[in-house]
Every structure is written in C-alpha cells, then in structure tokens.
Amino acid sequence: MSKVLPFSKVSVSRRVAVALLALGPWLTVAAQQSGGVAPAASVPAAGITQVGELSSVPAPSLTATAWLTLDLNSDQVIAALNPDQRVEPASLTKLMAAFVVFDAIESGRLSLDQKVHVSEKAWKTEGSRMFIKPDTQVAVNDLLQGFIVQSGNDATVALAEAVAGSENAFVALMNEEAARQGLRDTYFTNAPGLPHPEHLTTVRDLAILAKNLIERFPQHLHYYSQKEYTYNGIKQNNRNRLLWTDPTVDGLKTGHTSSAGYCLVSTAVRDGRRVLAVVVGAASDAARTENSLKLLNWSFQNFDTVKLFDADKPAVTARVWEGVSETVGLGSLEPTWVTVPRGKGIDVKPVANYSQPLIAPLKKGQEVGQVTVSLDGHVLREEPLTVLADVPEGSFFGRMYDKVMLLFQ
C-alpha cells in the first residue's frame, strides 16, 4: 500500500486532508505552497525506467542494429536497444509519406477515386516498383495499394506529386510533419526512402511516427494488412511475412537497402492490447521477421497493461480557494494506463503531486501538477495532473473570506 504523506509537512487545509484520506490508501498525494511541488518520498529522483528492466524474463537477444518495442495502450517503451542511434530508414520512410497522403485525403485535398497523372520522373524512380506507366492516369486507391502493399517507389513519387506538385515540395511537408510530431533525429531527403547521407531517423522516432499514424488514421490501416496486390497484370505480395505467420499482426511496413539492412515496423493486437515493434539493420528478411516476432511475443507474454484512472474520473479531490465551489477533481482528460511486468499491477504506486493553494478561476484541462507512477521504487511514467471541471471565481465576499482564511493555513 502507498503511504499518505504526513499532512504536518504540507500546507493543506483540514477539510482537504479529510477528503484526500477518503480516496483510499492506494493513491499518495503531495502538495505544497505555490512555487514548487513536493517530491514524493517513494519515488526516486532518477529518470523514467523502461519496464522491461523490471521483468524477470529478459528481452530476447536480437541480431539487429537497433530495436524498440512500445505498448500503444500505455504509450510506454517496454525495452529498446540503441533507440536514439541515427539510422537509415529505407522504405520505412513511407510511413511518413503515408501520413502526409492520408492527411491530404482526410482534409479533402485528395480523394481515393481521384485519377493521378503518372510523370516520367515517377515512372523512372529506382528501386521497388508498382509498374505504373508514364503519361497514364491512375486512381489514388490503386496507388495507395502499390505504395503500401508493394512498396512501390514509383507509386510513392506519383502520390507525392499529386499532393504537393513535386517530390521536393512533398518532402518539405514530410519534414514539417516530422518537426510537428517532435521527431528530433529525423530528416528526409526523398519520399520513397532511397539512400542519402542525410536521410536518417531513429527507432524511437519511427515508433512515435507509427503510433501517430495508427491513432490518427485507423480508417486507412487496412492497406497494411493486405497480403497482395495485382496491378498491370503483375501480382506482388506484401513483404511483411508476419502477416502470414501471426494472425494478430495487422501491419505495418518493411524496408531494405544494402546500406540500411532489413527493417520492419510491425504491430499486433491481442486481447485489445496493441504492441509495436521496430527492428532495423537485420541481416536478412528472415532475421527481421524472426526478431520482430520475438519482440512482439515477449512484450505480450511478459507484461500487463492496466488502467489506473478513467478519463474525467478524479485521481484526487483538491481544495479550491476563492471559487464558486470549494473542491475540484484533478486527474486526466484521457484514460491513464501503465504497463508492468505480468502480475505486478497490484504493486503500482501512483503519486499525485500538485501545488497549493489552488485559486480560482480554474479551467478544465489546466495543468496543476503531475501523477508519477512507480513500481518497486522505479518511476515508470509521469502524467500531467489536470483540472477536470471549470471553477469560476466566487463572489466578492466569498473571495475576501477565503483570502483571510488562507492567512491561517
């Protein structure tokens, strides 16, 4: 059980103390006067711990340059090797190209049945191909299948030109989107993922990008689970062999060049839980497939993802001064999940830290502190603690009364 901090050590009213104690013993609360947040006694000053480090079953030994596995329900990295080493993404670049194309479709700038002119530049693009012909009109839906299922570089450039007018302009949109998503170590020089000394990313950035793609465009994810596509009389299989190996896998993208090695971003859903694995720099197609499946199986079999708080359900009820109400719920506007080693959910310790006094007006969604989640003394994650309802200012006399009362707190 979590220990509630002694209220003699924090500035909080007796009524608030009673309210907090009524919440139950499993949530620790620390509060102090504005100007700082009291450190929780049970949480070390060290940074976030990858939950994989706390498992009694170590991560599998993989033959790859870098890899990462991410639980999308909790948004926690389970484990990683060289997550911030800059690497060539090869055709994993097409995840960002797809993001920009899907955004154009959803904003109405492009439609699935729209016919796109195939330029000579698109037709001549080297590497994997859909085998579109120059000076023809091809539907966006067909190009998407050639671009995603067949990993066609020619289809990629055709779509880039349809969205932005030229591949260079499209690449500028890709880099703008990378910056918007906070992909700090990613830079693109072309749309398909052809080798270039400055065309680099990291497995951490790729995991963030893939997560954002899955969550933003679920209506288009069916392309990634499509096993084959035939165009111009040529049938090509999806290069993601996991689609045939594991029925829970529904994506996401392969990549390969001689300099980048064999790469795969894979994802699967089991019992409502989605896990993402990123593997780059494997020695062969078989190796990237085997490594990815090992990561997915290890992540599903040895970890649980449990819900700490529901959306808009207070993690703590706090005293409000000078407002129309005396208390307000603090929590998260989204459900809060945490990934832990299997069977350890009961040992999780959430600690709510927020500054006092809370003075109206307060706005729903306003951040006033944080919830730190720890297990066995290790911090697993930190989440903003936000106000769950508007609290307008109270009457003039009510505010004056509270100002006087605060002098005695």
Average pLDDT over the chain, rounded to an integer: 89
42/68 Cα distance (integer angstroms) = 29
Residue 45: pLDDT over 90? no
Q: How many Å apart are CA 51 and CA 174, to the nearest integer?
A: 32
406: left (phi over 0), alpha (psi -120 to 50) or beta: alpha
Contact between 196 and 208 under an 8 Å Cβ cutoff? The reply is: no
Alpha-carbon span 10 to 8, nearest angstrom: 6
> What would the mean pLDDT of 349-363 be, rounded to a whole number?
92
Residue 151: band (very low, low, confident or very high) from pLDDT cuts 50, 70, 90: very high
**Whole-Å CA distances, 135 to 34, 123, 168, 187:** 67, 9, 20, 31
The mean pLDDT value for 151-158 works out to: 98
Per-residue pLDDT tens digits for 305-320 = 999 888 878 889 999 9
What values do phi and psi take at 47, rounded to 5? -75, -170
Catalytic residue status for 91: yes
- pLDDT band of residue 29 (cuts 50, 70, 90) is low
Active-site residue flag, 284: no
Total residue count of the chain as it appears in this document: 409
- How does pLDDT run across 120-148, given as a tens digit for each residue? 999 999 999 999 999 999 999 999 999 99
Structure tokens, 381: 């994650």
Of 91, 119, 266, 332, catalytic? 91
The catalytic residue among 128, 151, 292, 332 is 151
Assess whether 151 carries a catalytic annotation: yes
pLDDT band at 365 (very low <50, low <70, confident <90, very high): very high
Average pLDDT over every residue of 22-36: 41
Tokens representing 305 are 């993802």
Is residue 350 within 8 A of residue 382, CB to CB? The reply is: no
State residue 148 phi and psi, 5-degree precision.
Answer: -95, -55
The CA R_g of the chain, rounded to the nearest whole Å, is 25
Q: How far apart are CA 381 and CA 386, in angstroms?
A: 16
Q: Which residues pair with 26 in a beta bridge?
A: none
Name every residue whose Cβ is closer than 8 Å to that of residue 161 and which is 6 or more positions away in sequence: 116, 117, 119, 121, 122, 167, 170
Strand 115-117 to 137-139 pairing = antiparallel
CB 227 within 8 A of CB 237: yes
Q: Which of 94, 211, 253, 349 is catalytic?
A: 94
Calpha distance 91→87 (Å, rounded): 12
Flag the least confident range among 42-56, 270-284, 374-388. Answer: 42-56
Residue 194, token pair as written in the block: 């052809």
3-state secondary structure of 67: strand
Average pLDDT for residues 22-34, to the nearest whole number? Answer: 42
pLDDT, position 397 = 86
Query: In sequence order, what are the beta bridge partners of 391?
Result: 362
Cis? peptide before 314, omega within 30° of 0: no
Residue ranges of domains in the chain, CATH in brackets: 7-49+308-406 (2.60.410.10), 83-266 (3.40.710.10)
CB 113 within 8 A of CB 139: yes
User: What is the pLDDT, as a whole number, of residue 147?
Assistant: 96
CA nearest 297: which of 244, 249, 345, 238?
Answer: 249
Indicate if the pLDDT at residue 258 is higher than 70.
yes
State the sign of the Cα–Cα–Cα–Cα dihedral 168, 173, 178, 179. Answer: positive
Across 33-37, 65-69, 211-215, 287-291, least confident range: 33-37
Lowest mean pLDDT among 112-121, 158-167, 184-193, 395-404: 395-404
Given a cut of 90, whether residue 36 has pLDDT beyond it is no
Alpha helices in 4-57 (DSSP H): 14-21
Strand order in the sheet with 273-282: 76-81, 66-71, 273-282, 261-270, 249-257
pLDDT of residue 390: 95
pLDDT beyond 90 at 150: yes
pLDDT of res. 71 = 98
State residue 88's pLDDT score: 98
Of residues 7, 16, 11, 27, the one with CA closest to residue 328 = 16
CA angle at 384 for the pair 382 and 386, rounded to the nearest 5°: 150
The beta strand positions in 233-392, using DSSP E, are 234-237, 249-257, 261-270, 273-282, 303-309, 316-321, 327-331, 336-341, 349-356, 358-359, 367-375, 378-387
pLDDT of residue 8: 23
Q: Could you tell me if 154 and 178 are in contact, meaning their C-beta atoms sit under 8 angstroms apart?
A: no
- Strand-pair category, 303-309 with 336-341: antiparallel
More confident: 367 or 4 = 367
Specify the pLDDT at position 191: 98
Q: Which two tokens stand for residue 306?
A: 């449990």
**Mean pLDDT, rounded, for 243-267:** 97
Residue 261, class by beta-carbon neighbours within 10 Å (0-12 exposed, 13-18 middle, 19+ buried)? Answer: buried
